[in-house]
C-alpha cells in the first residue's frame, strides 16, 4: 500500500462445513468482505474489516491496529529505520 493515506480491498469468501454442523448452523456461507486501511504514520495503520452475508443480511465488523515494530521502535527512539 505504500505511503497512501488509505486503501480499500474488496473480496469474497465461501465457507463449507463438510460434517459436524451445530444446531441452526448453515452448511454453506458466502460473504462479501471489505477492508479499509487508514494510514496513521508510515508504520502504524488501522484496518477496519467488514464482512457481509447477503443471505442473512448479517454484518460483522472488526477494528484492528497494525504496526511495523521495527519502524515503531525507530519512531519512539527518534532514529531513522535502517
Report the pLDDT averaged over residues 62-74: 71
Domain for residue 34, yes or no? yes
Domain for residue 16, yes or no? yes
Grid cell locating 22? 451445530
Query: 47 and 57 in contact (C-beta within 8 Å)?
Result: no
Report the pLDDT averaged over residues 73-82: 65
Question: pLDDT per residue over 6-58, tens digit each?
Answer: 788 899 999 899 988 888 888 888 999 998 888 877 777 788 889 998 888 88
Number of domains in the chain: 1
Report the pLDDT averaged over residues 53-70: 80
Domain for residue 11, yes or no? yes
Domain for residue 22, yes or no? yes
Q: How confident is the model at residue 1 (pLDDT cuts 50, 70, 90)?
A: very low
Domain for residue 32, yes or no? yes
Domain for residue 1, yes or no? no
Domain of residue 61 covers: 6-77
For residue 46, what pLDDT is reported?
A: 82
Within 13 Å of residue 79, how many CA atoms lie on the same side as its CB? 7
Domain for residue 66, yes or no? yes
Query: 34 and 8 in contact (C-beta within 8 Å)?
Result: yes
Amino acid at each position: 500500500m505504500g505511503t497512501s493515506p488509505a486503501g480499500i480491498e474488496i473480496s469474497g469468501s465461501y465457507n463449507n462445513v463438510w460434517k459436524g454442523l451445530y444446531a441452526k448452523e448453515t452448511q454453506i456461507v458466502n460473504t462479501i468482505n471489505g477492508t479499509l486501511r487508514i494510514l496513521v504514520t508510515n508504520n502504524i495503520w488501522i484496518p477496519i474489516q467488514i464482512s457481509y452475508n447477503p443471505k442473512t443480511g448479517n454484518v460483522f465488523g472488526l477494528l484492528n491496529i497494525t504496526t511495523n515494530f521495527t519502524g515503531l521502535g525507530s519512531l519512539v527512539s527518534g532514529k531513522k529505520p535502517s
